[in-house]
Amino acid sequence: MQTVSVSASKSYDVLIGKGVRTLLAEKLNALFPGAKAMIVSDSHVAPLHLDALEQMLDTFGIRHAQYVFPAGESSKAPQVLFDLLETLAAQRFSRKDVLVALGGGVTGDLSGLAAALYMRGMHLVQMPTTLLSMVDSSVGGKTAVNLKHGKNLAGVFNQPELVLCDPDYLETLPASDFADGMAEVLKYGVIADEALFEQCKTGNVENDLETIITRCVSIKRDVVAEDEFDTGKRALLNFGHTLAHAIEAQSDYAFSHGKAVAVGMARIAALAEENGFCTRPCHARIAAALENNGLPTDCAFSNRELFAHITADKKCAGGKITLILPDRIGSCYTETIAIDKLRELLT
């Protein structure tokens, strides 16, 4: 088992390793003695993994309840958030109790926001079950729901008190969802670690998952320690994401986040190369690695179609937008440019 300790407005451990899910009850007793646990999960994950957790909590005498919502991005919505909050209130949860997010990014983001809002803050444990949530969304404290006008527009920073990352959960993950996670893994390679990129570029990663997840979480830990509230360096974690969010919105969320990030990274790398923003070419290497990992490198939406969504992105303010550009594989930088300039570059 690997431990990555995060130091932010809250300090907490991310435990990574096969079987760490079996530590949940012991950890809850140690961190929050006497607390009741609300396990939040979706309709795909709950039938696979919820029973085993509840049995473990029963064995340790930990009181618990469950909140299961329909799987999918459409549940990352204010209505579901408020239904969860009402459920916590109806079941007399207190701020000393703990919310356990068992699932992927939607579950983690929704639960993290609910835990921050309920009675102005209850305890939070993240138990990611997808590769994408293990390497990205369960760590670092970003929580949100989507609004009609865009993705992640209502949220807060709320760090968890513990993250349990168990690669055994990935055995039940569909291949397409695993590929989504690999988009974020390759992102870490491009922004910070050429060796990680090389390790993952062929798509043969099954035997190295614990080390790969640990490396990604460590990179994220370092970025979050420096810029928890996303005022500078943390933007690097959004490499490929500006176009990705636009692709997701344009497709009405039919495009998964990971696949949209893959296309976003390929397109921004191509744009950077064509316009002399990189010191070393990187588009072909990124595109090959994406393909080897079962990910797309392009989509049917033109940059012109995506532009309207880009102007609604959080990174766009005062007529300017901050782009994350690759200098070479293993190093990216941010560049703030006028929106009109971006329109010119994209169309």
Pick the closer one to ligand GLY by CB: 133 or 297. Answer: 133
Q: Shortest gap between Cβ of 136 and ligand GLY (angstroms)?
A: 5
Identity of the residue, 35 or 236, whose beta carbon is nearer to ligand GLY in the bound complex: 236
**Which of 238, 256 has the CB closer to ligand GLY?**
238
| CB 227, min distance to ligand GLY, A | 9
Residue closer to ligand GLY, measured from CB, 257 or 267: 257
Report d(CA 188, CA 216) in Å as an integer: 6
- H helices of 193-236, where? 194-200, 209-226
Nearer to ligand GLY, 335 or 340 (CB): 335
Rg over CA atoms, the chain: 20
Across 267-283, b (16+ Cβ under 10 Å) vs e yields bbbbbbbeeebbeeebb
Taking the complex as a whole, the smallest distance from the CB of residue 100 to ligand GLY amounts, in Å, to 20
Residue 30 or 317 having the CB closest to ligand GLY: 317
Question: Is the CA virtual torsion 19, 5, 333, 248 positive or negative?
Answer: positive
Taking CB atoms, the residue at the shortest distance from ligand GLY is: 237
198-205, Cβ contacts within 8 angstroms, sequence gap of 24 or more: 200/289, 200/293, 201/285, 201/288, 201/289, 201/292, 202/292, 203/289, 203/292, 203/293, 203/294
Cβ proximity to ligand GLY, 161 vs 228, nearer residue: 228
The minimum distance between CB 169 and ligand GLY, in angstroms, equals 20
- Work out how close the CB of 238 gets to ligand GLY at its nearest, in angstroms, rounded to a whole number: 6
Q: How far apart are CA 20 and CA 166, in angstroms?
A: 5
The encoded tokens of residue 61 equal 């005498």
Minimal distance, residue 179 CB to ligand GLY, in Å: 18
Q: Between 28 and 321, whose beta carbon lies closer to ligand GLY? A: 321
* b (16+ CB within 10 A) / e for 113-143: bbbbbbeeebbbbbbbbbbbbbbbbbbbbbb
Q: How far is the CB of 154 from ligand GLY (least distance, A)?
A: 16
Choose between 214 and 238: whose C-beta lies nearer to ligand GLY.
Answer: 238
Residue 160 tokens, joined: 């968890």
Residue with tokens 């080390």: 211
Retrieve residue 301's tokens: 């939406």
Chain residues that interact with ligand GLY, rule: CB under 6 A: 136, 140, 142, 234, 237-238
Could you count the other beta carbons within 10 Å of the beta carbon of residue 13? 15
We find the least distance from the C-beta atom of residue 288 to ligand GLY, in angstroms, to be 24
The answer for 149, left when phi > 0, alpha when psi is -120 to 50, beta otherwise, is alpha
Q: Could you tell me the smallest distance in angstroms from the CB atom of residue 203 to ligand GLY?
A: 22
Q: Which two tokens stand for residue 333?
A: 């930088």
